[in-house]
Chain A
Amino acid sequence: LAKTTQPISMDSYEGQEVNITCSHNNIATNDYITWYQQFPSQGPRFIIQGYKTKVTNEVASLFIPADRKSSTLSLPRVSLSDTAVYYCLVGGMNTGFQKLVFGTGTRLLVSP
């Protein structure tokens, strides 16, 4: 399973764009990249998932370079409620299921 490396913490202010980068040098060909958000005492919430280039949904964008050894989660115009831990995971399909291993995550603090 590919290991991921993220900054331990980041600080931002309301209204700013936040970019969290994740390194996954050993990503395999069939791995794809998924980001989750977790609030205290809650289960992780799916944010976005991608394989290459750029993926965008209503809450975030995910940028993946051609070599796929890293990815960047972009949160536009963060608010106080975006204060949470963000996890980057890589995993692929193997015999029909996806086994995910969580890294340390990035603790994002958004201030007024």
Chain B
Amino acid sequence: GAVVSQHPSRVICKSGTSVKIECRSLDFQATTMFWYRQFPKKSLMLMATSNEGSKATYEQGVEKDKFLINHASLTLSTLTVTSAHPEDSSFYICSATLYSGRAGTDTQYFGPGTRLTVL
């Protein structure tokens, strides 16, 4: 299957600093990537849709100025958590859609996740 990577896998930062998380599709091009966050023992919550070459689309309740998304190329999307606070501590996961060329068979592949801890 297709591979999606994330970097870093875990990060610890001080309150008030900004943290950038990278998401890469390693062996395919992804016009669209997605960002999720997950709290312990909870399901994934979609934060935003990252579109190559255009602005991201944020889900209701997600602060766009807080979570900056840049989809600079067909293989890279970045999520920057600005002025991070302890409540931003979470598991952040990205995904990318692999288009098969046949309707109904496109598949979304997920990265391994990034554990963010804000002190």
Residues of A within 8 A of B (CB): 30, 32, 34, 36, 41-46, 49, 51, 87, 92-93, 96-105
Which of A32, A43, A51, A105 sits near B43, CB closer than 8 Å?
A105
Residues of B within 8 A of A44 (CB): 44, 93, 95, 110
Contact of A97 with B31 at beta-carbon distance under 8 Å, contacts A42-B112, A87-B43, A102-B44 already known:
yes
Which of A41, A98, A100, A105 sits near B113, CB closer than 8 Å?
A41
A67–B14 Cα distance when bound, in Å, is: 52
Question: B46: CB under 8 A from chain A?
Answer: yes
Inter-chain contact A104/B43, CB cutoff 8 Å:
yes
Residues of A within 8 A of B46 (CB): 99-102
Q: Would you give the shortest CB distance from B28 to chain A, in whole angstroms?
A: 13
Which of A43, A92, A101, A104 sits near B93, CB closer than 8 Å?
A43
- Top 6 A-B pairs, shortest CB-CB distance: A43-B110, A97-B32, A102-B44, A102-B43, A44-B110, A43-B113
Size bin of chain B's contact surface: 20 to 34
A46–B113 Cα distance when bound, in Å, is: 15
Residues facing A in B70-119 (CB within 8 A) are 91, 93, 95, 97, 103-113, 115
Residues of B within 8 A of A99 (CB): 34, 46, 49
Which of B6, B103, B110 sits near A45, CB closer than 8 Å?
B110
| A/B interface sample: 17 pairs, CB < 8 A | A41-B115, A43-B4, A43-B95, A44-B110, A46-B108, A46-B109, A46-B110, A49-B105, A92-B104, A96-B31, A98-B106, A98-B108, A99-B49, A100-B34, A100-B46, A100-B108, A105-B43
